[in-house]
Structure 1
Amino acid sequence: MTLERGDISAISVKKIRLFWVLAEQELFSNYSERAQKDRIDVKAYSVVLLQLFNETNILYQSKHFLVVNKPPDILINSNDCTKSTVQTMLRNQFPDLSNPKLTHEFYFAHRLDFSTSGILCIPLHKQACASLSKSFENHKCKKYYIAIVNGHVAERQDKSLDINLAIGEDIRFESTSKKMCTEFESEFCKNPRKSQTHLRVLALGNYKNRKISKVLLQPITGRRHQLRLHCSAIGHPILGDFTYGSQEDRKMHRMYLHAIRIIAPNEYEDLHIHTDDPFIDPDFCFEAVQHSSVLNEKNFDDML
């Protein structure tokens, strides 16, 4: 059975799972409501994802790099060949670029969380991978994320913050290694490491009687779940992040964190890639903000 965009109700399984699909830069938010009603499970999600987003959104391609716009709620790769991942989507779309000698067929020089969408740079040969990895290790690469967080981070737009909170493994979840914590929870925080994030407030608004803020984030270090933890630690968890947020965030159809820009110099070519702002939703009522201004150079230049 081939599912069309209007056939989401054809799927019915046991677990309730809010569901969304990104296709051709369009957010089908009505699917979220249909998913709640029809009890769509995460397993059904992967089936529909492959059919509605069977071609990864390519942002840039050269003989050295392939840059894609990763959808949220999908793994980059997995040892389980039955799972839908960026790896399997790329293999289907670019079979000639797949390298069977590699464990996961492609060079993944950096990563994005399962729930995070946005820019993912994939080197196409070993030398390019080594060069890009070196740039990351030497802190020459700059990555920027856009997020919608709970609450008003500041009293006005354009406010900037510098968050310095060490991050370590949460010993309460040591067996799964799925959750980290900050030094605020020192009794549970194993091997905390210095972590730094720059934050700039882009807009203040409301969503269904909840105060929200649109923020630009720049991780200076690269700890696991760093942006999610730092936002949560200052009292403003990312909307839809029920791991580090509240139970109310389970009602959201996705986590609102997106890698919107990357500057990645390397010996083969300097990569300057950005996407549009994916978080333009009429339900988000922001005060006096022009969505086109998110990519204004001043926002990036004014980061601390």
Structure 2
Amino acid sequence: MPSADAPVEHRITDIGARLLYRDALVLVIDKPAGLPVHPGPKGGETLTDHLDALRFGLPRRPEAAHRLDRDTSGCLALGRHAKALARLNKLFAASGTVGKTYWAIVEGDPSEDEGRIDLPLARRSDDPRSWWMKTDPAGDPSLTTWRVLGRSPDRSLAWLALSPVTGRTHQLRVHCAAMGWPILGDTIYGTAPRSGGPGLQLHARALTLPLYPKKPPIVVEAPAPGHMRERMEMCGYEADE
């Protein structure tokens, strides 16, 4: 589970300002780091608390069509009504149908500039409440492609573009850790302390949604988040990219 001390990038005061895309079926917002999407057993603020402001005249609030971990920022698709949500859920359930690109800062220096991680994943525990995962030859097939976007001058950090072909729980975090370059700020699979760390350096950069059969896919990008910019810039990121 995410660290209770993970920093919130900033609280939502105007969720409309975080709207990246809107049409009759779907909204895409830029979720801040540190804010869970759904209510949990410990209570506290969630994204759901703010969704009434995104009705735009409809009788019910939109609902998330997929998961983002609490400490992951970036593109989150919302279905605007029940039929739209069902359509989106079907898209996200089909491996490889929705294009997803994440940006991550990882610890270490990948030996190649791009590659594939093909490692099955399974739960660490039989407890259904546990979300922690592990690589396991008997687990569910899990595939991630990756590409280096930049490296720090001392080669201690790398900025990656990660694309999960499958959608397993914590897939990117476990896959990166298994390769020997865990995501910076990961308190479960990496080296980050339980408190006082930089926050998980993982951002849902882009979504490609083939929602309408006779139209091009919807492509939405979220800007670089504030909590990752310093280390991205160390790895060569420029704001006008």
* TM > 0.5 fold call: yes
Q: Of residues 229, 232, 237 in structure 2, which corresponds to 1:280?
A: 229
- Are the aligned partners of 2:99 and 2:208 in contact in 1 as well (CA < 8 Å)? yes
Alpha-carbon separation, structure 1, partners of 2:149 and 2:32: 23
How many residue pairs get matched?
A: 231
Partner of 1:110: 66
RMSD: 2.8
Partner of 2:124: 170
Alignment of 1:215 onto 2:171: no
Partner of 2:139: 192
- Are the aligned partners of 2:105 and 2:232 in contact in 1 as well (CA < 8 Å)? no
Deviation at 1:282, TM superposition (A): 6.8
- Normalized per residue, which structure has more helix? 1
Deviation at 1:107, TM superposition (A): 2.7
TM-score (norm 1): 0.68
Alignment of 1:259 onto 2:215: no
Q: Of residues 1, 4, 13 in structure 2, which corresponds to 1:54?
A: 13
Q: Which moved more, 1:139-148 or 1:217-226?
A: 139-148
Q: Secondary structure at the match of 1:122?
A: strand
Percent identity for Structure 1 against Structure 2: 29
Partner of 1:161: 115
Alignment of 1:119 onto 2:75: yes
Higher relative contact order (CA closer than 8 Å, sequence separation 6+): 2
Deviation at 1:141, TM superposition (A): 1.1
Q: Of residues 89, 98, 101 in structure 1, which corresponds to 2:50?
A: 89
Alpha-carbon separation, structure 1, partners of 2:59 and 2:135: 38
Deviation at 1:81, TM superposition (A): 9.6
Alpha-carbon separation, structure 2, partners of 1:71 and 1:162: 28
Query: CA 1:204–1:81 in structure 2 vs 1: closer, same or farther (change >3 Å)?
Result: closer
Partner of 1:36: none
Deviation at 1:62, TM superposition (A): 2.0
Alignment of 1:237 onto 2:182: yes
Alpha-carbon separation, structure 1, partners of 2:122 and 2:79: 29
Alignment of 1:227 onto 2:184: no
Q: Secondary structure at the match of 1:162?
A: strand
Q: Of residues 7, 17, 20 in structure 2, which corresponds to 1:19?
A: 7
1:116-159, CA deviations, whole angstroms, 9 ceiling, x for partnerless residues?
Answer: 1100110112222222222223332101000000011136xxx1
Alpha-carbon separation, structure 2, partners of 1:283 and 1:264: 26
Q: Give 1 or 2 for the bigger CA radius of gyration.
A: 1
Query: CA 1:148–1:97 in structure 2 vs 1: closer, same or farther (change >3 Å)?
Result: farther
Deviation at 1:237, TM superposition (A): 0.6
Q: Secondary structure at the match of 1:161?
A: strand
Q: Of residues 66, 81, 87 in structure 2, which corresponds to 1:131?
A: 87
Q: Secondary structure at the match of 1:193?
A: coil
Alpha-carbon separation, structure 2, partners of 1:147 and 1:98: 37
- Are the aligned partners of 1:199 and 1:215 in contact in 2 as well (CA < 8 Å)? yes
- Are the aligned partners of 2:131 and 2:169 in contact in 1 as well (CA < 8 Å)? no
Alignment of 1:63 onto 2:11: no
Alpha-carbon separation, structure 1, partners of 2:59 and 2:196: 37
Alpha-carbon separation, structure 2, partners of 1:249 and 1:210: 25
TM-score (norm 2): 0.84
1:40-60, CA deviations, whole angstroms, 9 ceiling, x for partnerless residues?
Answer: xxxxxxxxx2xxx22221111
